[in-house]
Amino acid sequence: MKDILETIIAAKRLEIDRRRAILPPAEFYPQVERSMDAGNILPSMSAALLASSTGIIAEFKRKSPSKGWIRQEARAEEIPLGYQQGGAAALSILSDEAFFGGSDEDIRTARRSGVSLPVLYKNFVIDEYQLYQARHCGASAVLLIAAALSLQDCRQLRDKARQLGLEVLLEMHDEKELDYCRTEPEMYGINNRHLGTFITDVQTSISLIDRLPAEGCKVSESGLSDAGTVLKLRQAGYRGFLMGEYFMRSERPGQRLQEFIRHCTTDPIRNA
C-alpha cells in the first residue's frame, strides 16, 4: 500500500489527458469563465467553518482504496442535502471515480437537489484543468495535497484557484510538509491518515497545530468518530473537522450527523 498515492497520481494524469482530448482547454476554459462573468458567486468554505459552532465538514464518499465500497448505492441527490439539513457547516464530495466511486456530476446533482453550503472538490488535483472542473460543477473550494505536488506547483495551483474564485484546503500529513504553508491557502488541513500507509492517528493534528500559521482556518481530517475528540481538537485551535466514513456507514447519514452535532454541544469536555 506504500505506493498507493503514486498509483493514484499516475492514473489521474491519464484521466486528465483523456478529458483534454474530449474537451480541449481552448473550449472548456472560456465556457467556465463565462459562467463566472454571469455572477455565479460561490459561498466561502473558510468563512462558514470559522462562523460555525461545530465546523463539521460532512463527506459524501462511496468507497476508498483501503476499505473498498462503503456505500455503493449512495445517492448524491439525497445524502448531501441530508447533511445540510442535519447541520453540517460545509460538505466534501469525492469526485474521483476510479478509486472513490465519485464524479463531478455528484456535485452538480447535489447542487440541483438544493445544497447551498460550501462544497469541497475532493480529488487529487495536479493540473489547472481540474480547477476549471471544480468551478464548473459548483464547488467552493479545492483540495491540494502537499504529498502529490511540488511546492512550486502547489503555489501555482493556489494562485489559479483564486483567479477562479475557489478557496484552497491545503492537506499536509507531517512536519516535513509544513513548508507548503508558505503558499498561504485559506485553509490548512492536517490529514491524520497517511496516504501511503493508511495508518491513522489523530495525535498528528494535535502535534502539528502549533506549527501552523496563526492566520487561516485549521482543518483536521480523517479518523474522527467521537464528539470528545472533535471538541479536544477544537480547543487546540481547529475549526474544521472532515468526517465521512462515520456518517456514510449509517442508514441515515444526515440523521447520524445531527446526533453527532448534538453530542458536540452537550459533551462535558466542551465546558472543561
- 166: buried, middle or exposed (CB in 10 Å: 19+, 13-18, 0-12)? buried
CB atoms within 10 A of CB 200: 14
Q: In the annotation, is 128 catalytic?
A: no
Query: What count of residues does the chain have?
Result: 272
Q: In the annotation, is 167 catalytic?
A: no
Q: Write down the catalytic residue from 191, 192, 205, 220.
A: 191
Q: How far is CA 148 from CA 5, 14, 56, 100, 153, in A?
A: 7, 15, 25, 17, 10
Q: In the annotation, is 2 catalytic?
A: no
Place of cell 466511486: 101
Q: For residue 22, what are the contacts with CB-CB under 8 A and spacing of at least 6?
A: none
The answer to whether 106 and 95 are in contact (CB under 8 A) is yes
- Output the nine-digit C-alpha cell for 84: 445540510
Q: Write down the catalytic residue from 44, 46, 61, 92.
A: 61
For residues 123 and 106, give the distance between their C-alpha atoms in angstroms, rounded to a whole number.
13
Q: In the annotation, is 221 catalytic?
A: yes
Q: Write down the catalytic residue from 63, 122, 128, 186.
A: 122
Q: In the annotation, is 122 catalytic?
A: yes
Q: Write down the catalytic residue from 171, 177, 186, 192.
A: 171
For residues 198 and 194, give the distance between their C-alpha atoms in angstroms, rounded to a whole number.
5
Distance in Å from the first CA to the final CA of the chain: 40
Q: Which of 49, 71, 94 is nearest to 237 (CA)?
A: 49
Q: Write down the catalytic residue from 12, 46, 59, 64.
A: 59
Q: Which residues are catalytic?
A: 59, 61, 122, 171, 191, 221-222
